[in-house]
Chains A and B, each alone.
Chain A
Amino acid sequence: MSQIHPGISQRYQQCFANLAEKNEGAFIPFVTIGDPNPEQSFEVIKTLIDSGADALELGIPFSDPSADGVTIQQAALRALSSGVNTDICIDILKQVREYAPQIPIGLLLYGNLVFARGIDNFYQDMADAGVDSVLIADLPIRESEPFRNAALKSGIAPIFIAPPNGSEKTLANVAKYSEGYTYVLSRAGVTGAETKATTPADHLVAALKANNAPPSVIGFGISAPEQVKEALAAGARGAISGSAVVKIIENNLADNKAMLTNLSSFIKSMKAATVK
Chain B
Amino acid sequence: MHSTVVRAQNVFGFFTTVAFAVAALIAFTDLITPRTPKANISMSKVEVVRGRPNYYSTKKEEYAVLRFNLNADFSSLMNWNTKQLFVYVSASWPNSTSSEHTNEAVIWDTIITSPSADHLQNIGPAAMKKLKKSAEGKTIDPSRGKINLKNQKAKYQITAPGGRLAEKNDVVLKVHYNIQPWVGVLTWTPQIEFGKWKMMKGGVSKLFNFPALKVKKAADTTSR
Q: State yes or no: do A and B come from one complex.
A: no
Q: Show the binding face of B for A, using Cβ within 8 Å.
A: none
Q: Show the binding face of A for B, using Cβ within 8 Å.
A: none
